[in-house]
A and B are shown apart, each in its own frame.
Chain A
Amino acid sequence: QVQLQESGPGLVKPSETLSLTCAVSGYSISSGYYWGWIRQPPGKGLEWIGSIYHSGSTYYNPSLKSRVTISVDTSKNQFSLKLSSVTAADTAVYYCARQSGSYYSDYWGQGTLVTVSS
């Protein structure tokens, strides 16, 4: 069974960089698929942040592209998100997910709440 687990600080100060990691078990990232990050501000809808292929090629949401970096570490079977210069608007539950070639997310992490506040 494929499982994903997000980890990282739950509180980040404004202007700093948000960093999260998604550990994958039950499937080897190097075997294929895209791996993505999606977020959901409190009480609002889903927003795709970006995705990375196991080879390292990336796609980012144009509205966040200047601040986002997604990387993969196949040796640890995990992938990571960095979002720079955060503001209160970046407060959200952040999910990681496995994504097919059609870009649907079939396995999701449980999500982690990141609050941006001083």
Chain B
Amino acid sequence: SYVLTQPPSVSVAPGQTARITCGGNNIGSKSVHWYQQKPGQAPVLVVYDDSDRPSGIPERFSGSNSGNTATLTISRVEAGDEADYYCQVWDSSSDHQVFGTGTKVTVL
């Protein structure tokens, strides 16, 4: 089955840039979506279809996808960005959705 690999944790100082990677075999050929999840809350969609943002999501959140790696970039990180982040794709070879392993972002 298709596997998405994320780093367990990323630490970043306020005002700096956080980059969260999502690795998968030829992931560049798939549409990648990203979710933010804060403790005790449901996930929130922050990027869809590689690089589009839902309404209400700050421009500080951006995405890219090429080759075997997709990346969620959070610019000018704020304390409120501290959360778990998950990538997700649809695996057409087996007709099912796959979530990444998740990355905990810590704001120093």
Q: Which residues of A contact B (CB under 8 A)?
A: 36, 38, 45-48, 51, 59-62, 95, 100, 102-106, 108-111
Could you jot down 6 A-B contacts, CB within 8 Å? A48-B97, A51-B97, A59-B95, A61-B97, A106-B54, A111-B42
Residue of A45, A51, A111 contacting most chain B CB atoms (<10 Å) = A45
Q: Which residues of B contact A (CB under 8 A)?
A: 1, 31, 33, 35, 37, 42-45, 48-49, 54, 86, 88, 90, 94-102
Asked whether B86 lies within 8 Å of A48 as measured between CB atoms, the reply is: no
Asked whether A45 lies within 8 Å of B96 as measured between CB atoms, the reply is: no
Q: How many angstroms from the CA of A110 to the CA of B99 in the assembled complex?
A: 19
Q: A104-B45, A108-B42 are in contact. List 5 more A-B contacts (CB 8 A).
A: A46-B43, A46-B88, A48-B96, A60-B96, A106-B45
Residue of B nearest to A99 (CB): B97
Q: How many angstroms from the CA of A38 to the CA of B99 in the assembled complex?
A: 10
